[in-house]
Structure 1
């Protein structure tokens, strides 16, 4: 199995979320990143567990969440192709849970190995810094969604963010992309109930802004939806366009 898929090296003028080049791929192969495949709903690491692993997503969707007492959760981010996943930890324990939303293929190594890769390649180092900065910006936007944006606006904003991230890795066709999230997943990401999410999706459809059917999202009016949500792509694709 290839240690770095072509998807991680981008697609023509659509660079991947990470943008590894051939030299980076050789370094990663030499250092021994291990390819792993997780079935859907597999818990890769849990909140509170010691985790000294770094992951590069090759394909599939993952979910990063904070677990609450009583079984509730707040989804803080989704892991998509090309993302680097490092567990935030306190006193050795992970602060979040990482779960495979779909079948998830990753390259996994210790954080020490990832550090060695960064030391051997200034390009890999800069990509890690960019990825971590982008991840922080995504979490900040999700916090703003829950804290300040209306239910309808935050729903529109999240779908535009997912569209921007999918477009960056060449997975958007005619403003449409595959999305495996359920209304329960969306509720946990948006701080809403599943019933409320259903209403928001219906209203976006009635406003002719977005459709979400059978696991596929279609943005019907990108300029209008972008203006309505106050969405800016800089925190997603700024590094790729620099």
Structure 2
């Protein structure tokens, strides 16, 4: 009973690798078990699985890009091509919009000049900014300015319409009176300026000025009424 006696020292091996290896293996196994117990959720995939997943994800992204390119909205040709000359849209050129006034004469029905700059229909914001800067610096002619190749008939009609408009405005300025709105505004301002409640007492305006407006006939009538003023009252009678 009891433990065996150890072997003599000269018969014992110099080191005990079996025992140390068993102890180290048990320690590593315990550490692995404890570390695996601390993890929550699924474990990370291995190197082979991650490469396959990345390839599948790349294929999905490529397929989505191809589908997006196919589903891209495209505009019709009539939205991108400028109108041709003689078309009804040439009459609504945005660079040749007239002032919002009543036009008379042949120029009111005359179409716009031919041979305009069609690049304005397709210019971007950057192109428009560059064009405006060039027009301000004098590098190029303004887009709404009539060119030298304008039709002589259209030019004559435009000049006639401008001259007619100038003569109409000149006639109205000389012969026509002021509008009712202007007269009403002036009379209102005059009344507000002469409001006695908004100024101090003035003898010339309040007494002398008002008496000058009364004529001799009005004064005579006022005196006659004042003389007969006592006859309007009578003594009372008691029962």
TM-score (norm 2): 0.21
Q: Comparing both structures, which one devotes a greater share of its residues to helix? A: 2
TM-score (norm 1): 0.21
Q: Comparing both structures, which one devotes a greater share of its residues to strand? A: 1
Higher Rg of the two aligned structures: 2
Q: Which of 1 and 2 has higher RCO (CA within 8 Å, sep 6+)?
A: 1
